[in-house]
Amino acid sequence: MTATEGSTVGGVPPEVVAFLSGKGGRSLIVKGGAGSGKTTFGLELLERVGQPTRSFYLSTRVGDEALYRQFPWLKSTEMRTRVLDAAKLFLDAIQSSGKPREPELPEQEQKKVRAGREVLSSFGQERGPPTRVDRAHLQALLKRSPMPEVENVYNRIEKALPEKSLLVIDSLEGVTHKYGLEMEEFVMALQKDLVEGSNTDVVMILEKPEAGGIEYLVDGLISIQREELDERRVRHMRLEKLRATNIGRARYAVTLNDGRFEALGIGMNNHVAAAAGPWKPITDAERFYSTGIPDFDKLLGGGFRRGSFNAFEVDVNVGIDDYYMLFTPTFLNFLSQGRGIIAVLAAGESPEKLRETLVRHVPTNQFDTRVRIPDYTANETEDPYILPMARFGREEAMRAMVTAEKAVAGPDRKPFIEYTAFDTFESLMGDQVAIRMYFQGVSRTKHVGNLGIGLLKPGLLVSSEILNMMDTYFRIINIDNAPCIYGIRPRTTLYAISPDPEKGAPHATLTPVV
C-alpha cells in the first residue's frame, strides 16, 4: 500500500486510504444496517487499497459463488484469489489436518516471550519487520473451540510477511456466533496478534448499526446509513474515528452503482480541467438540442426538446460552480455550432467569469458577437456582450433586446439559448410583472424554437407560476458536499454531478446514486 495521505483511490475516501496506508497495522470497524453497502465497501477496499498477493476477504455470510453473482467484477482471476469462503477454508483445514504441525511453546515460555517484548517496547527498542504472525491470543481462543478458517487466514498473512497485508472480515458476528465467542475477545485477538504483532490492516464488518461497546478496541470506526430523500434512496458514510489521520471530510454521500462502492464529491475542488481547445460539439438528435453532457442527453431521451423551457431549482447550499457544471456544456455546445445565448444572470454570477470560461473552448470573437448579457444595474460598458439596461427607458430597453436577439441569432437566424435567473427578474420588476413578461417570452420562444433555461432559487414568489409553464423541472441539491440532480418532471432517480474523470472540466458526467 503506497498511497499517501490525501490521495484518491477509486471511490474510496482519501482519509480511509491515508488511514490504511500508515506505518504498522490498523484496525477498522465498518458498521451499518442491512443494505447500507458495507459488503460492497469491504470489497472495494480489497481491490482499491489492498495488494493482489496480500489482501484477503474472509466471507462468512455468503459463499464466494453468491458474491460473484452479486458482484460480477470479482470474477477476475486476481480478485478470486483474495475472496476466502469460510466454508471452503474449513474443509481445506480438515483435509490438511494430518500434516505435522509445528510444535508450540509451553504457555509459561510464551508468557516469557511476551513479557520480553513488552520490556523492549518500554525502552523504545523497536523490533524489525515481523517474519512470523503472533498467535498468542488466537491460541488462547483455540483451546475453547477450533477455528480452522481463521488459522488458515493467519497462515496466509504469515506467508506474505514481512510485507503488510489487508484482511477484510465479513462479518464479525458471523465468526463470533459460529464459535460461541464474545466479539470483544475476538477483536482483541485480531488487534494484538495481527494488527499490533504482525503489521496487518484488519477491516471488520459489523452487521449491526451499533458497535456495542467495542469501539475502544480498534483504531478506526466508520458507519454507513441509508435514508430516503424525497422518495429517493441516499447512503451516507460517516468517518467517526480514524486514529492518527486528518479527517478533512467527516461525511460522504455514496453510491453502489453497478455493484461498485463510490464516495461522491471526491476532489471536486481540485479536479483536472481540460486543456484549452475547441469544444467538439455533440450532434443534436432530431427535435432535440444536446445538453453537451451525454449522460444528461440519455436521461432526457435525447436532450432538451426544441422550443422547450426547462427549470432548474437550486437549493440554498448549492454553489454557482456546482450548477454551472450542467449549464456550461450546453452553452459551449450551442456556441460551437454558431448559435447564440441571451443570459440574464443571477446575483453572484459574473459575466466576465462566464466569458473567461467559455472562450477557452470557443473563439473570443464568437462569444463577443453571439452572446448578450443584459445588466440591469449598469449604465455603460465597454464590453460588446453586455447590455447596460439601467440607462434605457421602457421603449429603449425593448428595442435593445430586439437588437440583441438579432445579434445572437445571426444572419442565418439560428435558434439561441434564453437563460433566465428569476431572482434578478423578481427583484427588479416584482413578481407579477416578472410572471407576465416570462409568459410572453414562453409563447414566443416555443414558436421560434429556442431553448429556454430558467434558474429558480429558494424563496422566490414567482416559482409556482413559473414551474407551471416549464416542460421539465429539475432540482439541484448538495448532499455531503456532492452536487446532485433529480427530475420532478420527468421523474428520475438521483444523480451526482461531477467533472468527467477522463476529459476533465467543463465536460461532466452524471452518476446514479443508488
Integer Cα distance of 264 and 251 in angstroms: 10
Integer Cα distance of 258 and 252 in angstroms: 19
Unique residue bearing C-alpha cell 462566464:
354
Confidence of residue 124 (pLDDT cuts 50, 70, 90): very low
The mean pLDDT value for 174-199 works out to 93
Query: Any idea which of 218-232, 438-452, 473-487 has the lowest mean pLDDT?
Result: 438-452
pLDDT value at 93 more than 50: no
> Quick one: cell of 200?
496487518
Written as one string, the DSSP assignment of 352-366 is HHHHHHHTTTS-HHH
* Secondary structure letter of residue 385 according to DSSP: T
Unique residue bearing C-alpha cell 504498522:
24
Integer Cα distance of 138 and 141 in angstroms: 5
The set of residues, in sequence order, having a beta carbon less than 8 Å from that of 421 and lying 6+ positions away, is 344, 345, 346, 347, 349, 455, 457
The mean pLDDT value for 189-201 works out to 95
Burial of 183 (0-12, 13-18, 19+ CB in 10 A): buried
Phi and psi torsions of 391, nearest 5°: -90, -5
Integer Cα distance of 111 and 98 in angstroms: 29
pLDDT value at 118 more than 60: no
Confidence of residue 195 (pLDDT cuts 50, 70, 90): very high
Domains of the chain with bracketed CATH: 14-96+119-263 (3.40.50.300), 273-512 (3.40.50.300)
Confidence of residue 472 (pLDDT cuts 50, 70, 90): very high
> Quick one: cell of 404?
440583441
3-class SS string, 74-137 = HHCHHHHCCEEEHHHHHHHHHHCCCCCCCCCCCHHHHHHHHHHHHHHHHCCCCCCCCCCCCCHH
State the alpha helices, DSSP H only, in 304-462: 320-335, 351-358, 364-370, 394-409, 422-429, 431-448
Q: Are strands 166-170 and 55-59 parallel, antiparallel or unpaired?
A: parallel
* pTM for the full predicted model: 0.83
Task: Summarize pLDDT for 270-292 with one digit per residue, the tens.
Answer: 456 777 789 999 999 999 999 99
Q: Residue 15's closest CA among 250, 179, 292, 194?
A: 250
**Per-residue pLDDT, 7:** 47
**Per-residue pLDDT, 407:** 92
Q: List 374's β-bridge partners, or say none.
A: 387
**Buried b or exposed e, range 450-479, using 16+ CB within 10 angstroms:** bbbbbbbbeebebbebbeebbbbbbbbbbb
Written as one string, the DSSP assignment of 461-507 is TTHHHHHHH-SEEEEEEEETTEEEEEEEETB---EEEEE-TTT-BT-
Which comes out higher in pLDDT, residue 185 or 113? Answer: 185
Integer Cα distance of 74 and 94 in angstroms: 27
* Sheet containing 309-314: order of strands: 386-388, 371-375, 340-344, 416-421, 451-456, 309-314, 472-479, 482-489, 495-499, 508-512
pLDDT value at 430 more than 80: no
The mean pLDDT value for 324-347 works out to 95
Helix (H, G, I), strand (E, B) or coil at 150: helix
Neighbours of 333 (CB within 10 A): 24
> Quick one: cell of 421?
435567473
Task: Summarize pLDDT for 132-154 with one digit per residue, the tens.
Answer: 998 999 999 999 889 998 999 99
Task: Summarize pLDDT for 389-409 with one digit per residue, the tens.
Answer: 877 777 787 888 889 889 999
**Per-residue pLDDT, 16:** 96
Confidence of residue 469 (pLDDT cuts 50, 70, 90): confident
The mean pLDDT value for 483-499 works out to 96
> Quick one: cell of 121?
517496547
**Per-residue pLDDT, 61:** 59
